[in-house]
Amino acid sequence: MFWLSHHHPDEYNRTYLLGGVRVCARCLGTYPVLVAVFLALFALRAPLTFDAEVPLGLMLVSPALIDWAVGRFRPAAGSNLLRSLTGVLLGAGLGRSLFIHVQRPLPTVLLAQSAWVTAVAVPVILATYRRPRPE
């Protein structure tokens, strides 16, 4: 059931146990909100652009990105409530980007989000890659 929990047993503190299944706390906030925002924007016939699109798009993904990065360096840091809340913001930001993307591929906001995530994630992954996993 990797798609529900992509965490190893030593990271189960980052999951909720729902019906005997481990579910990632951040993903539980992200994906339902992403789908809801995506569908709501279509239902509301939302505009495809507005002045603060890129700054808002970056602000919505940043809390999850920062929390994830802190968690890579300090695995015991944070809480599932915080992960879920940052996931909600992430889902809202990605839902908006996806809404635009399916109508106008590769919008500036999506490219900016991708660049921001890459700029943070690559150095963090490289810095923490060789750390031994707890047994």
pLDDT tens column, 68-122: 999 999 988 899 999 999 999 999 999 999 999 999 999 999 999 999 999 999 9
Helices (H), the chain: 25-43, 53-73, 80-101, 108-128
Task: Identify the pLDDT of residue 4.
Answer: 67
Identify whether the C-beta of residue 25 lies closer than 8 Å to the C-beta of residue 80.
yes
CA distance 73 to 125: 10
**pTM of the predicted structure, to 2 decimals:** 0.91
The amino acid sitting at 134 is P
pLDDT on residue 129: 84
**Annotated domain spans of the chain:** 25-128
Evaluate if residue 135 carries a pLDDT over 70: no
**Among 69, 100, 73, which Cα is nearest to 86's?**
69
- 3-state SS, residue 24: strand
pLDDT category at 2 given cuts 50, 70, 90 is: low
